[in-house]
Amino acid sequence: MKIRIATRKSALALWQAEHVAAILKSIPAITDITLVPLSTRGDEILDRSLQKIGGKGLFIKELEVAMQNGDADLAVHSMKDLPADLPDGFCVAATLQRANHRDALVAAPATTIASLPENARIGSSSLRRQAQIKMIRPDLRIEALRGNVNTRLAKLDNGDYDAIILAAAGLERLQLQQHISQQFSVDEMLPAAAQGVLGIECPESNTELRSILKQLDDPVTLQTTTAERTIARVLQANCQSPVAAFAAVDGKTLNLSALVAFPDGSRFLKDSIRGDATNAEQLGASLANRLIDNGARELLDSIEALHD
């Protein structure tokens, strides 16, 4: 079988696609693999916030169109960028073993969130990160930051910001971990649902390909990803909503925490649940519904109204 992998053109997206290609090459049924690099609307529009142009789904639309048109067979995504509900006809065929789930502060060596000067400028376009930074340091100024990893690092070097927040996994994949000055614990900053996880999307109808891709599934990561993404789905949160979720499996038990917060950190709801890891989706739904009962839907609606 010949496989064509649709991918964005950024260095990180290409690394992710090449990483999956290297794994697939070890499967005897696959005879040839080629990458199909594509430019997406999310990559092209950098002067407006994702909330205003349609969310992170803009990073995957062109990849799905390529699969629909028969120009590609599958796409590799950071699972945190993939909407909780996929378009009809598509599925996540494999969830790879999770890499580092943490958020990272990128600043001068040895700088921590606590040691930053008062009113320091922090680069981040994530409302989830903004809310949790404000919960730690209300004085810090959060300023918009878009672009690929190297573009963001260049803006920091240029003095546009005192520090920026990025996913540790992306920096490590690009061998840029030397820029990390602090990694946040999940107690300090809950990550986005499925942060650090790579997923493979393909047409639901391609059962032969789905059967092959299933070999790449990591069972524990599938459980934690299912639980975390269920939180986002039940809350009807999009990829830019200030919603965080993190699950970890300990033996047969899954521990799941979630947060919904106002972007300025002034209001937040945080809760956790634990149970049988084989009931990951049910645990995620239960926790999300508990948050809704405590006012999460109203909080999210008020945030969406602010950004309309």
81 is an active site residue: yes
DSSP, collapsed to helix, strand or coil, labels residue 37 as: strand
β partners of residue 122: 142, 163
- Residue pair 158/102 in contact (Cβ under 8 Å)? The answer is no
The tokens for 79 are 């699972």
The tokens for 2 are 């010949």
- Residue pair 265/188 in contact (Cβ under 8 Å)? The answer is no
Of these residues, 43, 81, 103, 162, which one is catalytic?
81
Q: Using CA atoms, how far apart are residues 132 and 135, in angstroms rounded to an integer?
A: 5
Other CB atoms within 10 Å distance of the CB of residue 153: 18
The tokens for 238 are 């999009």
Q: C-alpha 298: how far from its chain's center?
A: 24
* Short-list 181, 182, 122, 175, CA closest to 152: 122
Active site residues: 81
